[in-house]
Amino acid sequence: MTLSQTNSSGFQAQRLISDIASVVLEQDGQTIHLRLDPLMPDPALPCFDPDYLPSQAQVVASGGRAAAWFVQLASVEAVLRHFKRGGLMARLVQEHYLWLGLERTRSFAEFDLLRVMWQAGLPVPRPLGAAVWRGRLTYRAALLTQRIQHARPLGQCTEPQVWLEAGRVIAQMHQFDVWHADLNVFNLLVDAQDKVWIIDLDRGRRTALTATQRAENLSRLLRSVRKVSPELESTCWHVFKQGYQAAFNDA
């Protein structure tokens, strides 16, 4: 069931009556698709703009490609991320991706994966909203997720017990058959209670993981440790592996 609506900016929208709202906007000849959690304020579209003054956007200093901000929504603190390319392709085009269908857009795919993981109780931030600005052949994308308060990257943690918990968390992710495309020490956050969170599931996917895929994920994380905090390999990596294996043994 859908409900037609016109918001205060004159946009025509179709809102799906369900827990998650799907909205389609037409603006200046461009189609904008939104996927929204009930916590999102109305109107939601301005919340995807870091220049929207009520959001009080502050640039996220660490990790990413300088396209993430801490923002204040009506009822929740969030992280806004605009999807940007890396590597050689970024020299040609930074924000635009080839349109292959709405469900294959970077923001909608990550939103849906986070939603499944969050509902299953895995330690990922609650997905709040996804936006897609569609052109004729390309699109731009953005994602809003709930902010993890007082968080620090795993690479800044020297406590073995935290690394033991990180191993258990990654094992839980793998047991849930989720493959993380960029598993590194910045995409594992530790909050004030030493709970470990998994963030940035861009290009991640849920599939029947093989032992080789799990090992490759861990190897990527180890390379990150060696690059960012090499001293932690000798003091904490073996503890991480103990936590990882213990979670599989307990399953």
The residues assigned a catalytic role are 182
| Chain mean position to CA 9 | 29
Distance CA 15, CA 25 (A): 10
Q: Is 180 helix (H, G, I), strand (E, B) or coil?
A: coil
**What one-character-per-residue DSSP string does 31-77 give?**
EEEEEE-TTS-SS-GGGG-TT-GGG--EE--SSTTS-EEEEE-SSSE
Distance CA 107, CA 135 (A): 15
Q: Nearest to residue 228, comparing CAs of 158, 149, 134?
A: 158
Q: Nearest to residue 25, comparing CAs of 54, 55, 48?
A: 48
Distance CA 158, CA 141 (A): 36
Dihedral sign from CA coordinates of 85, 35, 196, 191: positive
Q: Nearest to residue 32, comparing CAs of 132, 136, 143?
A: 132
Tokens of 210: 């093989």
